Each structure stands twice: as C-alpha cells, then as structure tokens.
Structure 1
Amino acid sequence: MKASINAREVTYQIEGESGQAEDKVLLADSIDLTRGNSWSGAGYMVVEFLPAPEQQQLQAGLEALVREALAAVGLPVAADFPVADYHKLIGDDQQRHLAVVNLTKEYTMERLPVPAALLEARVSELCGHRVQAYNPWDQMRLFHLRLVRPGRSDNNPLHRDVWLPDYDDCLNIYMPVTGSTADSSLSLVPGSHWWPENRVERTQNGAVYNGVTYTVPAVKHTVEPLQLIRPNPGPSEVLLFSPYLLHGGAVNLNADATRLSLEMRFWSV
C-alpha cells in the first residue's frame, strides 16, 4: 500500500486477512472528547504542555526509564547516555530490541516521573472536558513509551486505536521526548475520525507490517490516496488527538536518531 507523509511517498507492506467493513462512523456512537473545540474537525491539536520545569523533569525521567530497560537486558549505559543513540547500541539485534520494548511499552502510573494529576489537569483544560488517565473498560492507569529506530519497522501500522478493545471514548496524547522531528514524529490523517469504516480496507485482527507482527489491525487499502501529515510537536509541546483518527505508519526517516515518545490516554471522569 502506498501513502504520502507530508507529501513524501512511503510504501507499507501489510499482510493479514481482510475484515468486513460497515457503512458506519464509529465516533457517532461514542464519546467525542474533541467536541466543542476549534480543532474538533481535524481531530488533533498541537499546543504547549506543562510548565518548563515539570516538562523537563518528565522528559528526563522517561529517558531514565529507557536506560533502566537497557541495563535490564544486559546493556548497562551511563546516566547521561543519549537515548536518541539507542539504535547505535541495539543495532539490528531484534531480539534484544523486543526485550526492551517489552519493558517500556507499558508502565503503571507510579513510574511516571511527575504526578499524573498534572497531566490530567492540563489535558482537561485543553480539551474542555474533565478527564483522567484511568481506563474504565479495564480499570487500568497506564502510560506507554514508544521507541522507533531510524530505518526500521518499529512503528505501528496505520490504524485506529478503537479497532482494539478497551480504547473507546478517550483522547490520546503524543509527547516528544527525544528524536522526534518533522521526519520521525507521529503521522495521522486529519479528519479521518469521521470516516465511515467502509472507506478503508483493513485486516480483521492483527497484521504483519513490513515483516513484523502487530496485534493492532492495519489499513490495507484505500480507494483514494492516503495523505498523512506529521503535526510534529516541539520539545515543550504535546499532540492531542482522537483515537478514532487513522494514525501510525510513522516511519522514522531521521538519518541518525531514535525517536522516543510518551503516549497516554484519557477518559471522562
């Protein structure tokens, strides 16, 4: 499947059995936490996030978690090891990379370097709805780190989060930590949170994307060309976006920097 990201052509190889798609807009029967905002039509917004001291504390603490994970898989690193150089340390050792991913993909909120209440208050302010980082479907409070090496298939395929269980009715954030640039940051299709399901062909369950197996279903084909953008939040900013948007496929085109980002979800209180 071909698409463009910021007008730059990319090709995705997606394998998996296709599912039956309905002429149905999933968001129409769900809670839309972008509702009432100027960015509701696009489904996303980039804005300043936490005050500088808290933002820097959060980013530094998340980098430290990656260093901790590297040590846990047998690669002790210095306290000042730049996580943007992660790919230089791991190289093409996919087994060790997946071991790190297994440690960093999901943390309980106690490991967040700043109080979760700070993020909850700010996201509530930004979206105009009182929210918390608590999933009512599975009663979990989690955050996620994403490591995407340059030139590797470490990023998720293009998808909607709500194609997985327990991600309905929420709002996502993407916060850059290191290595997030106009060539590597999260990509999405503006306005696609209101697309009916039958506008795209997707896999029924998980997918094999560029030879890597993922649990999330993936877009296989669209009638019209897929035009993604990278909103590219800066170091002091955050990207808020609807989980009903098509997003992912964020190939890291950096020449020499791994991308590390924080991902969290928020639901109405």
Structure 2
Amino acid sequence: MSLPTNPASPDSSLPQLRVDGQPVPHRVEGRPAAAEDNTVLLSSDVDLSAQAPWATAGFAVVPGLPGGLQAALQAGLAELLREALRNVGCAVAPDFDISQYHRVIGDDAQRHLAVIAQTKAYELARLRVAPALLEALVSAACGQPVRAYNPNVQEAVFHLRIVRPHRADQNPLHRDAWLPRYRHALNIYLPVAGSTAQSSLALVPGSHHWPESAVERTAGGAIFHGVPYTVPGVLRPARPLELMRPNPGPDEVLVFSPYLLHGAAANLNPDATRVSLEMRFWRA
C-alpha cells in the first residue's frame, strides 16, 4: 500500500508528527487503551541503558564490527533475503541488489507477506558471524553484559526489517515494551541496504523516560495506513512529538532502548528499499 503524499489534516484526531523537522503522515486506527497514569515503565523494569553515557537520550550510534566482519554479516543477511525471494518464486541472481526488492515484489501484497513470514525471525545460527561478537559490541555500548536470549519467551532470534520506498511497511509510532515479551531489553538497528537519512529508523530522543500518560495508544495491535500490526500504536500525543533519524552508516550500529517511542517514518528514498537487521539483547 502506498502512503499518502500529505500529512493528515490538522482537524483530525491523529498526531501531527515531524521527523527531522518535516511533517509526516501517521494514520492510525484501533480501539483506544484505557486511560494511562503517570507510570514510567522503566522505573520498575530493567533499564539496560542506565549505565551508558547515552542514558538520557536512550540511544547511540556506535562503531560496528571490526575488520570486515560487519560487511560479512551484511552480505550474509542480503543472501537470506535473496533466499526468501526465491522461495516465493522470484528468480533473483546471486548478486541481486536487495535495495531493489521493491522492483521485484512491486505491490504484490501476498508475495510480500510471504517474504515477511520468512524474514521476521531467524535462529541465531543463520548469522554469518558469531552472535557473541554482537553481544560483546552491545555490552560495551551499554556498560553491562548482555546476551541475545529472550528470557520472557525462551528464544534467541534476529529479524530482517524490509521497508519499501513510499509504502506503509514501517511500524506505527510505538514502544516495543508495550509487548511484554520485549520488556527489559535493548535493541540494535544495523543497516544492510538502502538505509539513508531519508529511510532509516526514526525515534523520539528521551521518550524512554516519559510516563505512559504522555500518549494515548491503541489497546491492541494498531492499523497503520490500512495495514494491521501486532504492536500497539500511538493514537494521540499529550505533547509535541519531534522524531529524528540517527542514520547509522554501513559500518555503524544504532543501539537504543525499546522503551523509546520509535517507528512511523516512511522510507522516502526515491528508488531503494531499506533492509536492516533488528536484534534484541537482555541482561546476561
């Protein structure tokens, strides 16, 4: 589904969001959750950003894996996406540029969802580098030992996020921590292809310490620009929402708290799909 070209009208009940100073459309539907109080989720949860020099902002762009390892990781992730495309009947070459994913899939919703079903969760063994290397990188970034194992659901996985240009492929504005299985964690965003200042993940700095009353959200999964998602989404804010794209380079990694409000910003690249690695870590 393509995104509208203009933000929602000012008289709508939807938040008027800005990303790097530019207004963005954010059409969210869903049953409102019960009125929230001034509870701050991180006041009672494990805060893996608390000991980091970036604790106030809730995120940092840090150097990636050294010595060609990050490039090897990205090459392996690109091959996973080519594999997923072949599995749905797309005959892509071994050197197919995955930033051109949208040209192969187009607006074929069924085939796109079939790709997403494959890429939404992989066992860590499918990584081309040892998971311990990423665990060490994140541990150094946050100042305490972490591991890529989710004790909430007893699983160790990673995800590929695929966001086509000018389509509603990105999540609505949300906190991952609204889903209990993602509480007490720390996230990374690692660019694989098409990640630019016009497409990379957007977030609201410092919002991991905001009370729940700062936004009204959906009770369950939100419908964002007509697309259903499992995560709740922001319906209305109680304060202005100014998002930014930290935009890590290909040799960098964005580390951020899942309690930050993030998402919502479309891929505005003219002709490149954004592909990124998403992985979560918990206290070791």
Match of 1:57 in 2: 72
Q: Deviation string for 1:32-90 (max 9, x for gaps)?
A: 11112221000000011101411010000000000000000000210100000000111
Distance in 2, matches of 1:163 and 1:35, equals 19
Paired letter, 1:71: R
Give me the CA root mean square deviation: 0.7
SS of the residue 2:182 aligns to: coil
Match of 1:18 in 2: 32
In the TM superposition, what are the counterparts of 1:17-166 in structure 2 within 5 Å? 17-20=31-34, 21-166=36-181
- Whether contact under 8 Å (1:14, 1:220) holds in the other structure is yes
Match of 1:222 in 2: 237
Distance in 2, matches of 1:123 and 1:45, equals 11
In the TM superposition, what are the counterparts of 1:117-266 in structure 2 within 5 Å? 117-266=132-281
Paired letter, 2:26: Y
**Residue 7, structure 1, aligned to residue 21, structure 2:** yes
Distance in 2, matches of 1:89 and 1:176, equals 21
Q: Deviation string for 1:133-177 (max 9, x for gaps)?
A: 000111100000000000100011110001112111110000000
Identity %: 57
- Whether contact under 8 Å (1:172, 1:263) holds in the other structure is yes
Distance in 1, matches of 2:142 and 2:169, equals 30
Distance in 1, matches of 2:232 and 2:260, equals 14
SS of the residue 1:221 aligns to: strand
Question: When the two structures are aligned, how many residues end up with a matched partner?
Answer: 269
Match of 2:7 in 1: none
* Runs of 4 or more consecutive aligned structure 1 residues displaced over 3 Å after TM superposition: none
Residue 213 (structure 1) shift: 0.4
Paired letter, 2:139: S
Residue 23 (structure 1) shift: 1.5
Distance in 1, matches of 2:137 and 2:281, equals 11
- Bigger shift: 187-196 or 222-231? 222-231
Where does the alignment leave 5 or more consecutive residues of structure 1 unmatched? none
Distance in 2, matches of 1:249 and 1:95, equals 23
SS of the residue 1:166 aligns to: helix
Query: If the length of structure 1 is used for normalisation, what is the TM-score?
Result: 0.99
Where does the alignment leave 5 or more consecutive residues of structure 2 unmatched? 1-13
Paired letter, 1:214: Y
Query: If the length of structure 2 is used for normalisation, what is the TM-score?
Result: 0.93
- Whether contact under 8 Å (1:187, 1:250) holds in the other structure is yes
- Whether contact under 8 Å (1:12, 1:209) holds in the other structure is yes
